[in-house]
A and B are shown apart, each in its own frame.
Chain A
Amino acid sequence: METRTTLAVDKNTLRLSALCYTGTSLTVVVLFVALGQIVGGYPTPAVIGGAIWSFILSMIVTMPLYTSYFRRRRMR
């Protein structure tokens, strides 16, 4: 019998939040690439570099937001 339990954070919560922040970050990347195509004239490495940088920053921004949101929702 388990004597301790993970009440606040379970794997489902983490999985769901990971799905959301990765999804949002990828959306930002798609938006970046699309904008690059619309504006035009960018060398491919610049678009790839920009996409990677946008993804990293988006992950950093959205990861704590989604994680704490889902944790709060789980607690309620």
Chain B
Amino acid sequence: MSGQMTSKISLKIAGMSCASCVAHIETALSNLKGVSKAQVNFAAQKAQVEYDPERADLQQIARAIEDVGYEVVPDELSLSVFGMRSAHCEGVVKEGLENLPGVARVEPNSSTETASVWYHAGIVSPAEIKETIRDLGYDVEEKLEGRAALDREREARQRDIRHQGFWMLVSWPLAFLIMLGTFREYWILPEFVPEFLGDKFTLFVFTTPVVFGPGLQFFINSWRGLKHGVTDMNLLYATGIGAAYLIGVVNTFWPDAGFGGEKAVFFESAALLTAFIVLGKWLEALTRGRTSDAIRRLMALQPKIARVIRKGKEIELPADEVLVDDLVIVRPGERIPVDGVVIEGYSAVDESMLTGESMPVEKKTGDQVIGGTMNKTGAFRFRATKVGRETALAQIIHLVEEAQASKAPIQKLADKVAGHFILWVHVLALSVFFFWFFVGYWRFFDPQSTFLLTPYALGEIGVFGFAILISISVLVISCPCAVGMATPSAMMAGTGKAAEHGVLFKGADAIEATSKLDAIIFDKTGTLTKGEPSVTDVIVAQGFDLSSAEGSKFKVQGLEGEKAVLLLAAVAEKNSEHPLGEAIVRGAKERGLEVPDADRFDSIPGHGVEAEWQGRKILLGNRKLMKERGVPFEALLSQAEALENDGKTAMLVAAEGKPAGIIAVADTLKDYSVEAVEELHRLGLEVLMITGDNRRTAEAIARKVKIDRVLAEVLPQDKAEKVKELQATGKRVAMVGDGVNDAPALAQANVGIAIGSGTDVAKETGHVILIKEDLRDVVVAMEVANATMRKVKQNLFWAFSYNVASIPIGAGLLYPFFKLVVSPELAALLMAVSSLSVTLNTLLLKRFAPTLEREKALLEKTLSLEPSFAGHGSEMRRR
């Protein structure tokens, strides 16, 4: 007997660093009332606890472990929950599972029809969790990855479309016949509708298969929910359909029972209500998948087959079986199966589907290729570096999925409303019934008035029929489906749209925060600028010429003045490891110069370098070096200062003790930095730049990019503090950085935007990740976020407006004034239309294009028109 009273659980524990931890936990557990035995295994990081469930529970045991500084770690189960399509369904699943012993946390998401469940394996099994979800009325499967998940999800959706489509075929023809029969005595219908169709027994025969065919799903689902003590939208439908049908049955077979008599059978209400709700479900199933098209397209990019060389032979194998270091062959027109580095061959690869970059990118030996992108022209071989879940594509899909599964703060209100709505709707339906039964009917009733969309003169249906039909209308018209889907559907479409342009939002909260920004801070080095210095100016000293008698000693005749000065500097710096020296050598090579080795090279720390080439001396360095060596540079000093005022480093070059010229080196702006900042100004943002550089250099760069404010001489560790200071002024701040050095600042900002992460998206800090190194994508992120939030607000406005307007009308508020009251079938139609309008409004987001893309399209259109303009022009000239 006592054995039956004892339960045993096994818990995973995190935070145990030594054997003494075992004693701590065991003591803490043993001191707990009801625990008879506690055994902790340090190696397995597990605790076995035997306890009396009457005196202790899991929460107390977990708390006891946490109180002594350790953590109870639950297992995670990712599930696809088919049919969980609203915030209310989320509540049903969450509540149903949280009541299950051993389930620690549940995070359901109706927009992706998934749920993450954290559970303690010793108490509950995945099978029990899935069984509970099935009991609640949903189909469930463990979530699959990648293409399999895509196929399964599509299959489930198709099944749902087919299922509801079939019920449509059953319900609509019958509902149409029932409507004809019910309205038989009106208009011109008596002329061609046979009399038997209007017979109440015929109507009963036609209605019964509608209620117990297509309508049965609502009864089953609501019963499953009620068994677990939860109410859902199915209950609204079931009570509406059930009540209308039952009254119809009573009035058909027992017309004297007093429920309105044989003239008030309500069969058309039950049938049309079912038909409209099934129509709504069918339309929902049709449109549901559209908002997640982007993720589906990303998943579809995953290639199935790879061509790999193993043991010297070329073999074909499934792409997910490629191993790191495999040699992979890619031919023209084939999709690249995994990430890697080109080792042989040359081609152009279309990366637009991942980065949004429309131009094909050239790939040669040493270049990275991304799995899922399309090889265009040549064939090449590459060595696989990342496979399976590690590939960029898999990481992007994961990030987008995570973002789509997350919730924006704005959604909380909608969820709260939708979550508690059903209960309040029933309270309202009861109150409305009481009001019309006891007060309204006697005060406002007009026997000649009718329900909209019903033929009954209200006088025939009596007080009970009148009150219950209004009550049913309230139940049906109040369905909060539109409120529940307003935010998640727009967020899904928005994150997908952003991913199409190479912008990855890590969550719905990131989208909302991005849409509310006041200021944006750019890190300078590596973000606004390229991050490596390059030669920007070469100034030749008056009278210096390599091809002159003096210069000819260097045997480089024929060079122009600027190239000659650059060559001298490059020769002197060739063996230097200083970044400025490397920039000069690179600059010379970029200008087509061959840089020979110097005969002798000396570094003069803090001053520059001294070299000897072909027996002559070259000096390269600062003013101090030139002064010490007596080189007369006075004539060039004003130009050197002007360069320095522009934020450049000016280096003086002298040959044979005479001034040769000045070479300016600076970190140059990235392509499109200016355009990006200009666009951000257009969006009304204050743009700042943060850098560790001195103020003069920083301001020179800021002037070029038209930055509003410069935060100069800020040490890397202080960047986060600067962001905080700006936030303290009440501004919502975004920080754009490279995601590695700027991690603290990115984390501190309201929105951290990590730029140019390429293939390592998962490792990035920040709320928004830009795959390409194109600063204009910051603008794209802003525009997508703004468009998404606009859509969310529109959706919420329409959904709330619908409910705010429809509930009073459904409750009969207009009846005292206009003698008009909504029939249950009209209520069902309105409810379906409200959900559909929200979904269709969200789908409009698919047409959204960022300014950048619109301008590009306009330019291409103009260019394509140009030849005809040119033709016209030449024609005109000829004339």
User: Which A residues contact B (CB, under 8 angstroms)?
Assistant: 1-9, 17, 28, 32, 35-36, 39, 42-46, 49-50, 53-54, 56-58, 60-61, 63-65, 67-68, 71, 75
Indicate whether B95 reaches chain A with its CB closer than 8 angstroms. yes
Please tell me if the beta carbons of B226 and A6 are within 8 angstroms of each other in the complex: no
With contact pairs A43-B258, A64-B229 given, residues A2 and B101 touching in the complex (Cβ less than 8 Å): no
Number of interface residues of B (CB under 8 A): 45
- Which residues of chain B are within 8 angstroms of A63 by Cβ–Cβ distance? 226, 229, 231
User: Of B7, B59, B100, B464, which one neighbours A3 at CB under 8 angstroms?
Assistant: B7
Please tell me if the beta carbons of A46 and B433 are within 8 angstroms of each other in the complex: no
- Which residues of chain A are within 8 angstroms of B226 by Cβ–Cβ distance? 60, 63
Please tell me if the beta carbons of B462 and A68 are within 8 angstroms of each other in the complex: no
Please tell me if the beta carbons of B239 and A56 are within 8 angstroms of each other in the complex: yes
User: Of A4, A9, A46, which one neighbours B462 at CB under 8 angstroms?
Assistant: A46
Indicate whether B741 reaches chain A with its CB closer than 8 angstroms. no
24 of the cross-chain contacts (CB-CB < 8 Å) are A1-B3, A2-B5, A4-B102, A4-B123, A5-B7, A6-B53, A7-B57, A7-B123, A8-B98, A8-B101, A9-B99, A17-B229, A44-B258, A46-B258, A46-B463, A49-B247, A50-B464, A50-B467, A53-B433, A60-B426, A61-B423, A61-B430, A65-B423, A68-B229
Please tell me if the beta carbons of A67 and B229 are within 8 angstroms of each other in the complex: yes
Q: How far is the CB of A65 from chain B (nearest CB, A)?
A: 7
Q: How far is the CA of A22 from the CA of B99 in the complex (A)?
A: 21
Interface centre among A2, A45, A64 (most CB of B within 10 A): A64
User: Of A32, A43, A56, which one neighbours B434 at CB under 8 angstroms?
Assistant: A32
Contact with A along B204-246 (1 / 0, CB 8 A): 0000000000000000000000100111000100010001000
Using CB atoms, name the residue of chain A closest to B462.
A46
Q: How far is the CA of A75 from the CA of B430 in the complex (A)?
A: 31
Interface centre among A54, A57, A71 (most CB of B within 10 A): A57
- Which residues of chain A are within 8 angstroms of B123 by Cβ–Cβ distance? 4-5, 7
Indicate whether B384 reaches chain A with its CB closer than 8 angstroms. no
Q: How far is the CA of A58 from the CA of B258 in the complex (A)?
A: 23
Q: How far is the CA of A75 from the CA of B239 in the complex (A)?
A: 32
B:55-78 near A, CB below 8 Å: 57-59
Indicate whether B282 reaches chain A with its CB closer than 8 angstroms. no
Using CB atoms, name the residue of chain B closest to A3.
B8
With contact pairs A1-B4, A53-B243, A54-B433 given, residues A39 and B426 touching in the complex (Cβ less than 8 Å): no
Q: A8-B99, A53-B433, A53-B468 given. 4 additional CB < 8 A pairs?
A: A3-B8, A4-B124, A54-B433, A61-B423
- Which residues of chain A are within 8 angstroms of B468 by Cβ–Cβ distance? 49-50, 53
Q: How far is the CB of B275 from chain A (nearest CB, A)?
A: 23
Please tell me if the beta carbons of B426 and A1 are within 8 angstroms of each other in the complex: no
Please tell me if the beta carbons of A35 and B257 are within 8 angstroms of each other in the complex: no
- Which residues of chain B are within 8 angstroms of A32 by Cβ–Cβ distance? 434
- Which residues of chain B are within 8 angstroms of A42 by Cβ–Cβ distance? 463
Q: How far is the CB of B126 from chain A (nearest CB, A)?
A: 14
Top-8 shortest CB links A-B: A45-B258, A67-B229, A46-B464, A5-B7, A5-B53, A57-B430, A7-B101, A7-B57
- Which residues of chain B are within 8 angstroms of A53 by Cβ–Cβ distance? 243, 433, 468, 471
- Which residues of chain B are within 8 angstroms of A75 by Cβ–Cβ distance? 57, 59
- Which residues of chain A are within 8 angstroms of B243 by Cβ–Cβ distance? 53
Interface centre among B58, B226, B229, B231 (most CB of A within 10 A): B229
User: Of A7, A39, A45, which one neighbours B53 at CB under 8 angstroms?
Assistant: A7
User: Of A7, A45, A49, A61, which one neighbours B427 at CB under 8 angstroms?
Assistant: A61
Q: How far is the CA of A75 from the CA of B4 in the complex (A)?
A: 21
Please tell me if the beta carbons of B438 and A60 are within 8 angstroms of each other in the complex: no
Q: How far is the CB of B628 from chain A (nearest CB, A)?
A: 82
- Which residues of chain A are within 8 angstroms of B95 by Cβ–Cβ distance? 68
Indicate whether B437 reaches chain A with its CB closer than 8 angstroms. yes
- Which residues of chain B are within 8 angstroms of A60 by Cβ–Cβ distance? 226, 231, 235, 239, 426
Q: How far is the CA of A51 from the CA of B195 in the complex (A)?
A: 36
- Which residues of chain B are within 8 angstroms of A61 by Cβ–Cβ distance? 423, 426-427, 430
Using CB atoms, name the residue of chain B closest to A28.
B430
Q: How far is the CB of B212 from chain A (nearest CB, A)?
A: 19
- Which residues of chain B are within 8 angstroms of A68 by Cβ–Cβ distance? 95, 229
User: Of A1, A44, A65, A71, which one neighbours B99 at CB under 8 angstroms?
Assistant: A71
Indicate whether B449 reaches chain A with its CB closer than 8 angstroms. no
With contact pairs A32-B434, A43-B258, A45-B257 given, residues A64 and B230 touching in the complex (Cβ less than 8 Å): yes
- Which residues of chain B are within 8 angstroms of A54 by Cβ–Cβ distance? 430, 433-434
Indicate whether B259 reaches chain A with its CB closer than 8 angstroms. yes
Q: How far is the CA of A9 from the CA of B229 in the complex (A)?
A: 11
Please tell me if the beta carbons of A57 and B433 are within 8 angstroms of each other in the complex: yes
Q: How far is the CB of A42 from chain B (nearest CB, A)?
A: 7
With contact pairs A46-B462, A57-B433 given, residues A4 and B7 touching in the complex (Cβ less than 8 Å): yes
Q: How far is the CB of A45 from chain B (nearest CB, A)?
A: 3
